[in-house]
């Protein structure tokens, strides 16, 4: 793990969010994305109200899919 510099943030998924993500990933039609993978893009957006969490599969392609894992009940 690299050194965390001043101002950097670490974001974590709750157990419920991890379970939802895993269930969603199991429904996807898997595509070969190269030797290093890279099929998933995790987007964490801190706001004044709370943290927006979105995960994209094959972002910026015709087969792009997304799940919103934001816990709106905590806002």
Q: Residue 4: pLDDT above 80?
A: no
Flag whether the pTM goes above 0.85. no
The pLDDT tens digits of the residues spanning 16-53 come to 999 999 999 999 998 888 888 889 999 999 999 999 99
* 66: enclosing H helix or E strand: strand 65-68
Whole-angstrom distance, CA of residue 56 vs CA of residue 15: 19
**Distance between CA atoms of residues 38 and 49, nearest Å:** 30
Provide the 10 A C-beta neighbour count for residue 29: 8
Cβ 56 vs Cβ 41: under 8 Å: yes
First to last CA, the chain: 31
């Amino acid at each position: 793990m690299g050194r965390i510099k001043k101002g950097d943030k670490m974001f974590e998924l709750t157990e419920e969010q991890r379970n939802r993500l895993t269930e969603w990933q199991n429904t996807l039609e898997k595509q070969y994305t190269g030797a290093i993978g890279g099929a998933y893009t995790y987007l964490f957006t801190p706001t004044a109200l709370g943290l927006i969490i979105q995960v994209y599969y094959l972002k910026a392609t015709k087969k792009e899919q997304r799940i919103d894992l934001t816990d709106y009940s905590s806002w």
